[in-house]
Structure 1
């Protein structure tokens, strides 16, 4: 009887935990406290927010000083797709009053993390974030999706050609809508349209060497955006 009660209690707890997490689908709670503590930019502060998924999320873990020394703010959440980012964009970007936002998103949509998405759906979400930012006086850097030959957590989807097509859409939009296009893809791609082995352990997420390729490209794009 005790074992049965313990099992029922555990199942009830797991159901409530799952239900609670489902209610915060965009994961507002991840940065709610940090955003409140951060407040508005101080006088002379040129704030830059990085919106993204695990690639952005892991960046600050590998190079925390890159963010702390440059007034860069990491708002990446591992596993997220563009609709989730779009929902939390006001809380995690606009309300922080940055001068610039970099948006690096789309690979998890291609992987189907929150369900099937067409390239047009993914692009629309990215463009909507860009338009929200611009409407609030924030300069926009649209990043290319990083190359990936396959996804270890969902193999067989053949993402490489889809990433190429999505990047073409992002670049075209950036050129027509006064955004900066930040091309990480060309610097990191191999002859299979995947990521160069020296830049990643799993073919999707950059290692330290990969981030070291990305950082000067990102700095140059931010500098260009601030001059606009």
Structure 2
């Protein structure tokens, strides 16, 4: 698994670097014998000809879309994203563990830190909204934490390589836009109350080993919540969660200093 993921990381980083160089310099593109890649526009304005209704509209977050078509839940934070004050220190993006951090221990999200977690999401859904909910907000740092719902199969069967590709894509998007990265470990869990047949501890440990290796290889900050919260068997320590998966106030109290140290590490000049 690690060899396949390492190949993914190398290939993704190389392709991204080439694209960025060619985008930045048409002269370099000409020397490389490849067409220049135009820089992405900050926004897109399309004049709609008066030929009848279409599905491309100025405000797409209608009740019908939110109710059945918004697989990545792009509408969830679309309005709030327009109102985020600048400058912004950090965005925390992830699943319910990130989303409920704000409601359970809101002190973490003072001083220019915003929460963009959505309960139940898997890494492909988080990647889908990464540009909207992170890059457009121009934070200094992004804290990425996901994986629990990938292991649980919330959006269907997946593989470690698919998870790795999604995390790598988020890292590359952040780095390409000058955003420092904190990788948060997947929290320990001995089981899932919504998938009682599963025994996820070994898979979670394997994903965390890869995340830690990726952080080391790419010079990223790593927030190791797992080591502070796991039993020797890979379950959540007693008292840190009411369901063995989601932290309670005591669990977030363990996580907060780890998160703050990782943010400070990510902000150091490199």
Task: Say whether the fold is shared (TM-score over 0.5).
Answer: yes
2:63 equivalent to 1:22? no
Greater Cα offset, 172-181 or 197-206: 172-181
Check 1:20–1:50 CA distance in 2 against 1; reply closer, same or farther (3 A cut): closer
- Largest Rg, 1 or 2: 2
Output the CA distance in 1 between the equivalents of 2:68 and 2:175: 30
Aligned residue number for residue 100 of structure 2 = 58
| CA shift for structure 1 position 66 | 2.3
2:252 equivalent to 1:211? yes
Aligned residue number for residue 12 of structure 1 = none
Check 1:19–1:38 CA distance in 2 against 1; reply closer, same or farther (3 A cut): closer
| CA shift for structure 1 position 22 | 3.3
Q: Deviations over 1:139-174 (max 9, x none)?
A: 001111000000000112111000000111111111
Output the CA distance in 2 between the equivalents of 1:127 and 1:77: 20
Two-structure CA RMSD over aligned residues (Å): 1.6
Aligned residue number for residue 84 of structure 2 = 38
Q: Give the 3-state SS of the residue equivalent to 2:239 in structure 1.
A: helix
Q: Deviations over 1:172-209 (max 9, x none)?
A: 11111121111100000012210001100100000000
Q: Give the 3-state SS of the residue equivalent to 1:225 in structure 2.
A: helix
2:91 equivalent to 1:49? yes
Aligned residue number for residue 265 of structure 2 = 224
TM-score (norm 1): 0.87
Aligned residue number for residue 125 of structure 1 = 166
Output the CA distance in 1 between the equivalents of 2:247 and 2:69: 31
TM-score (norm 2): 0.74
Aligned residue number for residue 216 of structure 2 = 175
Output the CA distance in 2 between the equivalents of 1:62 and 1:19: 29
Aligned residue number for residue 7 of structure 1 = none
Name the structure with the higher helix share: 1
| CA shift for structure 1 position 64 | 1.9
* Contact map agreement 2:66 2:75 (CA 8 A) in 1: no
Query: How many positions carry a matched residue from both structures?
Result: 208
Check 1:188–1:37 CA distance in 2 against 1; reply closer, same or farther (3 A cut): same
| Equivalent residues in 2 for 1:158-197, closer than 5 Å | 158-197=199-238
Q: Give the 3-state SS of the residue equivalent to 2:216 in structure 1.
A: helix
Q: Deviations over 1:64-87 (max 9, x none)?
A: 23212x211000000000000000
Output the CA distance in 1 between the equivalents of 2:133 and 2:203: 28
Runs of 4+ in 1 over 6 A off after TM superposition: none
In the alignment, structure 1 segments of 5+ residues that lack a partner are 1-16
